[in-house]
């Protein structure tokens, strides 16, 4: 079924929401993520300033969702590469944090980290703060700040890399 350009987005939502979410679920096998990507595709379509050049809104919507799905897979690949497997049979060595020297070194690292964070853009600092200290999900931050999910992901990644470099320089 194709939709003429003049058809309202509301009609498109009613007609295609279930189908799009089902297609996304068949690829992801996660209802929550499929629903999130489906919603984001509709949000992006709604935010488009001019859809008059789009001949087939349904195809455009599904292409938008496909691109979001690709972005999701890319972010998952990056995320899974960053996760380190912990060997099950070896308990982690716990550093004794009670000595004054360890506390002093930790405070120095924290001071360096705070100072280093000031080199990031205010947007990057805010996104990182909302994610790491307020516990907001990336999608929530994107909606709160009215920016794309990709911008949120990129800024969190930038902040984490910056933190790692800052702490790496201190050792």
* Distance from C-alpha of 2 to C-alpha of 24, rounded to nearest angstrom: 19
* pTM, 2 dp: 0.46
107: helix, strand or coil:
helix
Write the DSSP string, 42-86: HHHHHH-S--TT-S-HHHHHHHHHHHHHHHHHHHHHHHHHHPPPP
Q: Higher pLDDT residue, 4 or 83?
A: 83
Contact 37, 69 (CB under 8 A): yes
* Distance from C-alpha of 108 to C-alpha of 131, rounded to nearest angstrom: 23
pLDDT at 171 over 60: no
Region 3-32 average pLDDT: 82
In tens, the pLDDT along 85-136 reads: 666 666 666 666 667 777 777 788 888 888 888 889 999 999 998 998 888 9
């Amino acid at each position: 079924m194709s939709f003429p350009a003049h058809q309202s987005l509301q009609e498109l939502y009613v007609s295609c929401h279930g189908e799009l979410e089902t297609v996304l679920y068949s690829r992801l096998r996660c209802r929550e993520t499929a629903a999130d990507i489906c919603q984001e595709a509709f949000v992006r379509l709604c935010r488009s300033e001019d859809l008059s050049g789009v001949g087939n809104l349904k195809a455009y919507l599904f292409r938008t969702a496909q691109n979001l799905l690709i972005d999701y897979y890319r972010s998952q690949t990056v995320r899974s590469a960053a996760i380190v497997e912990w060997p099950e049979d070896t308990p982690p060595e716990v550093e004794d944090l009670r000595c004054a020297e360890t506390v002093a070194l930790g405070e120095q690292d924290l001071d360096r980290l705070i100072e280093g964070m000031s080199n990031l853009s205010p947007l990057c600092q805010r996104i990182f703060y909302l994610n790491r200290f307020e516990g907001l999900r990336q999608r929530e931050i994107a909606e709160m700040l009215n920016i794309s999910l990709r911008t949120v992901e990129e800024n969190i990644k930038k902040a984490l890399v910056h933190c790692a470099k800052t702490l790496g320089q201190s050792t």
